Structure 1
Amino acid sequence: MIKAKDSTWLLLICLLIGQLYVPSQGSPIEGDQTDYQEDDYDYGDDGADDSSKGDVTDTLDITMPPPYFEENDLKIEAKPGDDVVLNCDARNFQLSNAVMWYKNKTIIANGQNAIGHRVECMPNNSIVLRDASAEDSDDYYCEILPQMVRQHTTLRVGARLSILCDDRDVTDRSQTFRQGDHHKLECRTYLPGENTIKWSFNGLRLESSPEDIKNGVVILDNIDEQNAGVYQCLGDDGSRYPPHGMVTVDVQYSPKVSTHRHHVNTEEGHTAELYCNYRANPIGRSYFIKDGKTLQLSEKYSLKDSAHNGHNRTTLVIREVGKEDLGEYLCQVENAIGSNEVKVHVSYNPETPQFEDMKVEGTKVTMHWLVRSRQPLSEAILDYQLTGSYTWSTVSVLQTHRHNHTEGIWKITHQLDLPRRGLWHARVKAKNTHGWSNFSPDHDFQIEEDDESIAAPDMDLPPEQIMQAGVGITRGAASALRQLPAITVACGVLLASLLLRVRL
């Protein structure tokens, strides 16, 4: 039997257990609250279960490493019209991962769904770009989500036309060649139909052998300065805007040295100027040499550099000229490719005459030459010759006067009445108080046939046989007849006489 004292203790224990049980199960119902939670309410797990769930997630992150690429940057070269495969070969790719493809910043594929009719998705997350063109050249990349790991692919699609130099693509670029080199320029087109390749050089159509043109090839052999410029290729496919390309060629060459005054006239005590013009790439260094020694700058010698008609010009100034300054000088120019030189002779004799102009009236010709000489001219000789002649005809010219009253420049004028028409050659040399100059270069001129050499159509011509014999022929034909052997002319005259007697 339970005693009262024992029951009191039992009641106290029950009350304590109730106090502990209520906080663990939830808040007590207060007032008249009658809203009960539905049976499907997610009560959640106890604290021990929540902790266990967090441990499982951490374990998955540790045991499964994120996706990655063995190469993050790729490059692909393609030709127009090719089908190009862009790979997205990711390691550790999981079913929980997704793939996005971009061209620059534009989405072109989402998972296995392509955006655009020329893009095709592959099961391994790569894509195929159909019928590539030059406009497709860009930066492509695939991105693995949610880690946002990327692999970039730079795609370059050649233009519809390319220029190759020794099998290297140089379209719209510059090339530097060296004097004496040998190179091949080839123009290739990537067009679906027939086309004709046309080359031009510095704006002018470039002609090559038929076989080279057929293959679109230009051969540059023993390259020199004249090969420098812009080469353009056009693939003529009949369209309004045919494909074209260009390459700029720069040539490094040894200096090209020249002068218009190989002989320089001077006078004792005066100043003489010798010059030479040159072109060089890379730029050259110029200097003068006399008697095997390089002339140094001094009160006697000085140098002037200038530009003249697209050339570099170096001028040597010799002050207070004496007999020891006469003779031959070398103007030498050198650069990294080579060197070249030109000779200039200093003397008291007249310089080589230069042709100025001429006037032709029928067979009469009036010619003018200019001569540099500080000393007065005393005499001049003119030689002339018809093409085919073995000897020159010579005439002494006495008409010499200063050119436009210019000191040191003389003008020679002479008129010739040439005996025949045709191609003639003339040359002049002059003399001053010290001696003769060299002959000028030959000047060629043509005396054309005039209308008098053609028979009038309404004149009473003799019979054809007489014409063939030389009777009644024109001035030009008579001239030709005079060149026939004498026996031929005699026979013709005899035959003409017989024919006239029969006619009478």
Structure 2
Amino acid sequence: MESSVCLSLLTLLLLTPRGLSKGYYDPYNNYYYDYDDGEEDPPTFQARSQTFTVEVGQSVIIPCDVDNAGLNKLIIKKIPPHGGREKLLSVGTERVTKDRRISIEGARLTISHARPKDAGVFICAFEMEPPVELKHTLDVQFAPTIKAEAPPEQHVPKGTTVTLACKAHGNPEPIIRWSRQEGPLPSGLRSEEGHSLTLEGVDRHVEGTYLCTADNGIGESASAAMTITVEYPPEISTEKAVVRTGEGDTVELVCVVHGRPAPDVIWTRDGHPLPDTLMDTKLHLPDSRAHESHGHHVSLLHIAHRHTLTIKNVTEKDFGAYVCIAENSHGQKDAVIQMTGLPKPPLVTSSPNGGESTSYTLTWETESYYPITEFLIKYRKAHMSTWQQSNRTMVMAGSWENVSQAVRPVGARRGTRHSMAHTLRQLEVATDYLAVIRVRNKCGWSSESQHFAFSTKKAMAVLQSTSGGAQTQVLALSWMALVMALGMVV
């Protein structure tokens, strides 16, 4: 009996395809009971986890293709890139999110016209025990934006330290570069990288508009501008500190003035305010009332930083010291321009090495509106003698000799420039001298020229002799040069 039951059960197992059904056979009642234990093979995703990178405006497909889904419903949800609350996007083939840019086709989620906010982790999941999940990462790249973290315009005192800063946003992380609209940065470079730019000890030379520009290779770069204005006391320079002129001439006295706020500028002569320099400093134009009292003899013009005082039909009464005075809320500064008819100090033009043994010809030039009527030359030997005391060697300079006389200009006169010359005689052979020159015109004497060093001839001519058809050249030093070489102790 038992053997027949076992045989029947074995026959049933052989005839039943494996996996086709599950159950057991009751040999006592000769009946097979089929049953289902509730266990199924879990769904399997066809793809691996991936990272998708797109630029703003492009479309992207998030694949959740699956095998053996059965009656289980696929759920797609999203986690923001920096963490946060999960957001359900779809259940099965039904879109749950209200975002119309998202569509579901089968087991795939499509995002059209991607935006930065679409970035994050997308989870394809079946709610089972244990859960079955597939994660994809979406990276949305976008062009940079930038924002200045300093005021768009700053007025700062001279000497302070100013830091400019910008903050950029973009994907990938943008690089920030600094530049200056007016030219190179104070460092001398055309551009520098960094989130901030520090300017130490600012002055007017660093004024301008600074740009911070963000770039990450996506789309167009973005820039923000900040303007630096430096406030400082007046700074003055003159185009000529001394202006030489004469009767009937027209001259311009020029002061270049910088300052912030823009300084008010007035002129004085010999300590007295000039009555003819009324000025509308706001419009930077001469006032129509400014020149009526003296028939346009003195007038003032202000263009940008250049202040020009013009004097027409100059007379000797106009000679003197003119002062331009600039003042603003940070201080006051002045500069002096001397207007004179005196000659300019002479400039020696002759060679320092003389060609004569006992004489030397000085040549010089000077500038004078009026003819030169006289000159004065002072000269002396550079070293006269030596003497010893207490084992010390002392060198004594020679005393000054004066030559003064009325002269005629030598050479052609070119405008106010005069060329002159004079020969000094009875000088010592091969000797070093110093000379200074002054010249005079109808207005008076010039200042002295710079000390000029010269010397008389230090070598004799070449002696030539012919003997037996052969020519021999002998170079001999003058006897005075030889004496100095052997006997002088410096």
TM-score (norm 1): 0.39
**Bigger strand share:** 2
